[in-house]
């Protein structure tokens, strides 16, 4: 690959060190902001996270169980971001209905569904018994 080809890929690929880290952080924060402003599902999942993350920190479970509860919440957010990026890329290509575009969007949606099922299973197996113990002890 010659230098001209590398420059066409991205003008930021040559950045190194602290400047690269600052750029990456800036782009990441921009992505979170864009997801929050443009993706209603992401906003709903942020509300869910705002409830579940503090709850995971206060219920009486082991450290490993607490980690599983927290990871299950963040996996939902992660998969939603990836799904939204796929949808945005497909919409950039064209808004007409195409079988492959539909497949890509449906696969992304299925990934979010699986992440949500993982969250529900994890919370059902770990947090629910802990909360029931707490209620039963009073």
| 121 vs 98: CA distance, rounded Å | 34
Among the ranges given (13-17, 91-95, 104-108), the one the predictor scored with the smallest mean pLDDT: 13-17
Q: Are residues 61 and 98 in the same domain?
A: yes
Q: Band of the pLDDT at 36, cuts 50, 70, 90?
A: very high
- Residue 20 has a pLDDT of 92
Q: Are residues 25 and 79 in the same domain?
A: no
Establish whether 80 is a catalytic residue: yes
Domain count, the chain: 2
Q: Are residues 130 and 113 in the same domain?
A: yes
Burial code of 16-48, b = ≥16 C-beta within 10 A, e = fewer? eeeeeeeeeeeeeeeeeeebeeebeebeebbee
To which residue do tokens 């290509």 refer? 93
pTM: 0.84
> Among residues 39, 45, 65, 80, which one is catalytic?
80
Mean pLDDT of 110-124: 98
- Residue 69 has a pLDDT of 98
Provide the domain limits for residue 58.
40-136
For residue 76, the domain's CATH number is 1.10.287.3610
Cα end-to-end distance, the chain, whole Å: 69
Residue 61 CA: distances (Å) to CA of 5, 14, 55, 115 = 53, 46, 11, 22
């Amino acid at each position: 690959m010659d230098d001209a080809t590398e420059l066409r890929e991205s003008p930021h690929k040559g950045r190194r060190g602290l400047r690269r880290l600052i750029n990456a952080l800036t782009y990441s924060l921009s992505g979170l902001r864009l997801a929050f402003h443009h993706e209603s599902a992401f906003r709903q999942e942020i509300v869910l996270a705002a409830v579940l993350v503090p709850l995971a920190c206060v219920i009486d479970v082991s450290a490993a169980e607490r980690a599983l509860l927290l990871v299950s919440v963040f996996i939902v957010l992660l998969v939603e971001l990836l799904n939204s990026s796929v949808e945005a890329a497909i919409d950039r290509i064209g808004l007409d209905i195409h079988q492959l575009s539909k497949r890509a969007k449906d696969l992304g949606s299925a990934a979010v569904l699986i992440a949500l099922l993982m969250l529900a299973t994890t919370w059902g197996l770990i947090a629910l018994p802990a909360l029931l113990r707490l209620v039963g002890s009073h």
